[in-house]
Amino acid sequence: MLDSAYIVGAAETPYTRHPEPGVSTSGLLVQAAREAVATAGLRWSDVDGLGVSSFTLGPDHAVDLAWRAGLGPLSWLMEDTNGGASALNMLQHAELAIRSGQASTIVLVSGDRMDAAAFRMLVEHYNRATEEHLAPLPITGPNALFALLTQRQMTALGLSRRDYGHIITAQREWAGLNPGAVYRAPLSLEEYLDAPLVAPPLGRYDCVPPVSGADAIVLTAGPATAGIGGSGRAVRVLAVETTIGIDDQDADGLTTGLVQAAPRAWERSGLGASDMDVLSVYDDYPAMALAQLIDLGAIAAEDAQRDLAERIGTRRLPVNTAGGQLSAGQAGAAAGMHGVVETYRQLAGIAGERQVADARFGVVTGYGMVLYRYGACANVAVLEGVR
Amino acid sequence: MSGPAFFQRCTSCSAVSFPPRLACRACGGAAFEQIEAGPGVVEEVTELPGGLRIASVRARGVLVVCSTPSAVEAGASVALVDSPPGPGDSPAAAAVASAPDTAPTASMTAQAVHLPGSARAEPAALFTTTAHIENEGTP
Ligand SMILES: [Zn+2]
């Protein structure tokens, strides 16, 4: 068993609010996967493992995508349906496949062509509980559920809408430095507060813009094999941990599975939240970004109001440095992979204008799969940039 | 006219669930009975564009998601019903609507809120046996 697996390449297709008619889910997935392999300095024929996550790939599955993309023979294949947790779920398996020698070059790719019809289909038929107990209310999509959850968090932590605004405006500032983000224009706290309410206390800017796009990473057994353009620069996977179903959907939803997964990841990596140079948390709603920062140990619950203003709002704590889903866009199942790609870019030193100086350690979280009232899945990866 | 909402209760350990499950997380049992949800208390309310109000309501210790035809506030006692409440379901609703500052109280007839998929149903056997299944294989 090898000690480590390495991320040696990554790519993200352009995100678009309204996809052109010719754009397909499978086309986006293959575009991202091929770009990721190219950035790693590898050949398409080197790929012997494929992991796929998509809400809209059907009727095809991973094997169909591999065939249509001209891949094979493969010694490792997986498909993960767990939305915002799918990227790190796949990484948890892929890391072990590389270390055990089951595969030597694995591409993990996530994405969706998420037009209005696909989005409506997704949110109305998300799962059986949604079909039977939420869609008939009638609600479409999770805004109402997370509005109720945000109210609970505001009460628990003594927060106001203005406090959450620091997450939104800071991520918009980061997005201004990311040519791939769909919303890049600066957003003031006043503009955030004045925006129309979608489901009080949630306003327009508390909700992610659905986009079409795909994200991919490439894993190998060692940085020397490739790295960025053969430079040998890569990102080592130090730990990946997952907790599914921390409770029975009978709690307040303010504590995620990270409260169990993160301590395991810190123990395995020998690091802690304060060692992280960049952080990427799953920001489907600002309340969930905050909940995950608390569960990681990056912010203390009792200091939440102060830290939102003084550490997040000022960008002193580099969180979601590509703009996150809230400004870059939520490309369906790629939403979880977006943070992995950005953290790879930061730790590889190729994040352009938004590069965090001397970034060596990074943490990425995944969260999602609303069963009834809130997400059931959470996972975390600790990564290190190496030469 | 709406009927009362029903929850699921484990016959082994009496744990109450909604939505209904296939096995009990508390004890692992797979035998359930239906019980009336009973009155609930509103914990949070939000309002969607178009005016639909969505509330989290706690009843028998379980937090469920309901829609409500008129204004309710956190702390209000409500009746959970299995279909969108009509005029006959909610005597207090009209009074509340005409006097928005008056929160429903326990002494008033509780306002009805809709909990979809909660109608009493014939208990379904968890495991069914089929006399004979032709094995056609999968491609
Ligand atoms: Zn039980």
pLDDT tens, position by position, A151-197: 999 999 999 999 999 999 999 999 999 999 999 999 999 999 999 99
pLDDT tens, position by position, A49-65: 999 999 999 999 999 99
Average pLDDT over residues A289-305: 98
Half-sphere exposure in the Cβ direction for B66 (13 Å, CA): 37
Mean pLDDT of chain B: 80
Least confident of A91-105, A206-220, B104-118: B104-118
Diameter over CA atoms, chain B: 65
Least confident of A81-90, A223-232, A322-331, B89-98: B89-98
Could you tell me if B49 lies within 8 Å of chain A, comparing CB atoms?
yes
| pLDDT tier for residue B69 given thresholds of 50, 70 and 90 | confident
Q: Best mutation site among B44, B72, B73 for testing chain A: the one with the most A CBs within 10 Å?
A: B44
Give the single-character DSSP code of B82: S
| pLDDT tier for residue A361 given thresholds of 50, 70 and 90 | very high
Average pLDDT over residues B6-15: 97
| pLDDT tier for residue B136 given thresholds of 50, 70 and 90 | low
Least confident of A36-40, A176-180, B135-139: B135-139
Do A198 and B49 count as a contact with CB atoms less than 8 A apart? yes
Model confidence, pTM? 0.93
Q: What is the pLDDT of residue A223?
A: 73
Category of A318 on φ-ψ map: left (φ > 0), alpha (ψ -120 to 50) or beta: beta
Considering only alpha carbons, which residue of chain A is nearest residue B118? A133
CB-CB: which of B43, B44, B67 is closest to A137?
B67
Q: Best mutation site among B25, B54, B81, B113 for testing chain A: the one with the most A CBs within 10 Å?
A: B54
pLDDT at residue B129 tops 70? no
Q: What is the pLDDT of residue B85?
A: 80
| pLDDT tier for residue B93 given thresholds of 50, 70 and 90 | very low
Which sign does the torsion angle of CA B22, B23, B29, B35 carry? negative
Do A145 and B19 count as a contact with CB atoms less than 8 A apart? no
pLDDT at residue A228 tops 70? no
3-state secondary structure labels for all residues of chain A: CCCCCEEEEEEECCCECCCCCCCCHHHHHHHHHHHHHHHCCCCHHHCCEEEEECCCCCCCCHHHHHHHCCCCCCCEEEECCCHHHHHHHHHHHHHHHHHHCCCCEEEEEEEECCCHHHHHHHHHCCCHHHHHHHCCCCCCCCHHHHHHHHHHHHHHHCCCHHHHHHHHHHHHHHHCCCCCCCCCCCCCHHHHHHCCEEECCEEHHHCCCECEEEEEEEEECCHHHCCHHHCCCEEEEEEEEEEECCCCCCCCCCCCCHHHHHHHHHHHHCCCHHHCCEEECCCCCHHHHHHHHHHHCCCCHHHHHHHHHHHHCCCCCCECCCCHHHHHCECHHHHHHHHHHHHHHHHHCCCHHHCCCCCCEEEEEEEEEECCCCEEEEEEEEEEEEC
Q: What is the pLDDT of residue B108?
A: 47
| pLDDT tier for residue B135 given thresholds of 50, 70 and 90 | low
CA of B126 to the centre of ligand 1 (A): 15
Of A102, A52, A48, the residue nearest A74 (C-alpha): A48
Higher pLDDT, A152 or B124: A152
Q: Which domains does chain A have, with CATH numbers?
A: 6-117+212-234 (3.40.47.10), 126-211+238-386 (3.40.47.10)
Average pLDDT over residues A262-289: 98
Do B48 and A144 count as a contact with CB atoms less than 8 A apart? yes
| pLDDT tier for residue B107 given thresholds of 50, 70 and 90 | very low
Average pLDDT over residues A13-22: 94
Q: What is the pLDDT of residue B84?
A: 87
CB-CB: which of A133, A148, A250 is closest to B46?
A148
| pLDDT tier for residue B70 given thresholds of 50, 70 and 90 | confident
| pLDDT tier for residue B86 given thresholds of 50, 70 and 90 | confident
Q: How far apart are CA A265 and CA B29, in angstroms?
A: 33
| Torsions phi, psi for A84 (to 5 deg) | -65, -15
Mean pLDDT of chain A: 96
Considering only alpha carbons, which residue of chain A is nearest residue B61? A250
Q: How far apart are CA A32 and CA A81, in angstroms?
A: 18
Q: What is the pLDDT of residue A206?
A: 98
pLDDT tens, position by position, A362-371: 999 999 999 9
| Torsions phi, psi for A121 (to 5 deg) | -60, -40
Q: What is the pLDDT of residue B2?
A: 85
